[in-house]
Amino acid sequence: MGTLQIDFGEDRKSKIVGIDLGTTNSLIAYMDLTGPRIIEDSEGRKIVPSIVSLSEDGKLVAGEPARELLLTHPERTVYSVKRLMGRGVGDVQEELKLFPFRIASDSESVIKLNLGDRTFTPPEISAAVLRQLKNNAEAALGTPVSEAVITVPAYFNDAQRQATKDAGRLAGLEVLRLVNEPTAASLAYGLDKRQDGIIAVYDFGGGTFDISILRLHDGIFEVLATNGDTHLGGDDIDNLLLRIALEDVETEWGQDLSQDSEGVQRMRRAVIRAKEELSFVPEATVELSYKGKTYQRSIDRTLFDRLIAPIIERTLASCRSCLADAKLTPEQINEVVMVGGSTRIPRVRTAVERLFKAKPHTELNPDEVVALGAAVQAGILAGDVENKLLLDVTPLSLGIEIMGGVVSKLIHRNSTIPASATETFTTAVEGQRNVLIHVLQGERELVKDCRSLARFDLKDIQPLPAGMARIEVRFLIDANGILNVTARDARTGKEQTVEVKPSYGLTEEQVEAMIQESFDKAEEDMRERQVREARVEADNILAATEKAQKNEAWEALSDNERRAIESAKRELRAVYHGNDHRLINEKIDALNHATQTLAENMMNTAVRGALRGTKID
């Protein structure tokens, strides 16, 4: 097991900070002698809006200045960019319909956003927010800030997490850890001090809603299930009140204010102020003075609760789904943590308490709780928490072999232990009954270049068509560095476990050499991985096509269609053994296109067979 020496002497020049990089707002925090503290800017503000704008002098500005520019220059301003991090253009078409952002014409797989006459990627936009947080921290602490712990949603995939790390690097920060937001919230409340327990984290922010259920065992947080809605948050409540106010204005003033962007933004601020007041007082007033006219409307708590009831119910529906996915009842939840500004609303708190039958934790500021938890993790890394001189980490990445002789990494190197990760895999052969689980350690992309730790078989899985089986592989490293690997057939419940010591037999010099070799050969390894993955996909489509040619749907094709398929197969086989993954993928796409009619015929044949002998009343 590798250890990392931490120097927490008085002469340490740089603070390690914790950052909540949020969809709507972001915060930065650090550990002082009394505990985690949020860092304020020069004007005493703790929250930095996650808004970025391109100023007239060509510089990216973030936070409050950008929020002001959103009123006057919306075409040069971006918000909620977190939703675009680590995703391709094809993944975010629905997202983009909701935003005024323009995608650059040369965006193909990588998203590029047009701001005025320049383009930026989502990590570059997020880096501007991180840079503002970094500047605030350096000004407040009087020391350089170059290392950080950043929180991410539990459902973020590898690409989204890597994009977050890239944003940190662009902002001049070394991202020491990415911590799941629900885990950070639990850390802020000190729930990691429990020996065991089930924790629900209800995160109702400005733009998104997330519910996560965690299992805590011996200091390890394991995500059992997540659910939520990426388009459900306090913004929906704001929009509801805004719509009512704009309708009132149209009736009173005889003017459609919805077509006036500045007027809309000013009214939005007015309804947000009223919404915030209603969390503490029984009645609030929406008030707007604009272009010589004044609008006023009082809203009491009873009316407000009735208006927002459908929105709250949508969050509770996600909670019920999350409980079902985790195979738990509300009574089995030991702790409930509230995160996000929208959880200040009394009706939200009572609804959550009623559902989980437990009083939720609301002692900490819900806007700040994730950043405070990130600061706790930063304090652990810095040695400021419990005077830890040595921090145990995994020295090398751990993963399993998948098709093509490549490695799928589940736990990455330098992850703090205890640690856990779960991923779902499938089978490659029709009717497969056994699966070989090959556990590997190392930083290289291919199995042949990594260290084999263990092999075991998961036997007697349910025989299904290729790609239909669901095999859950779980890696769990305990506080002693012992790795337990469990493979489970999700359909039958059969499982097999092996225990290994990941770092057994390796010296520090060998670990360093393996890491250095991975850097030196990273480009070569990635090319080889891409070729192997392309060949695996080619094998799959060729096998599927061969099988389809024995189906009666093949006979329904014209001679030209059959010749086109045979030609596409020959062209794919001709490039199969080459080293150009782009060319292989190009020929795969060509065969996919050639077999489109065949696939449709097969589907029609299957539907006719399923309906044969049935009657419609």
What positions carry a catalytic annotation? 20, 82, 181, 203
Query: How would you label 143-154 residue by residue, b for 16+ Cβ within 10 Å and e otherwise?
Result: eebebbbbbbbb
490: burial class by Cβ within 10 Å (0-12, 13-18, 19+)? middle
Q: N- to C-terminal Cα distance for the chain?
A: 68
Rg (CA), the chain: 27
String of b and e for 246-273 (b: at least 16 CB within 10 Å)?
A: bebbeeeeebebeeeeebbbbbbebbbe
* Amino acid type, 184: A
Residues 170, 173, 174, 178: is their CA dihedral positive or negative? negative
**CB count in 10 Å sphere of residue 513:** 12
Number of C-alpha atoms within 13 angstroms, CB side, residue 155? 15
The residues, ordered by sequence, that sit 6+ positions from 306 with a Cβ below 8 Å of its Cβ are: none
Please name every residue paired with 223 in a beta bridge, in sequence order, or none if there are none.
214
Buried b (16+ CB within 10 A) or exposed e, 84-107: bbbbebeebeebbeebebebbeeb
Task: Identify the burial level of 509 via C-beta atoms within 10 angstroms of its C-beta, where 0-12 means exposed, 13-18 middle and 19 or more buried.
Answer: exposed
Residue type, 358: A
Cβ–Cβ under 8 Å, residues 112 and 103: yes
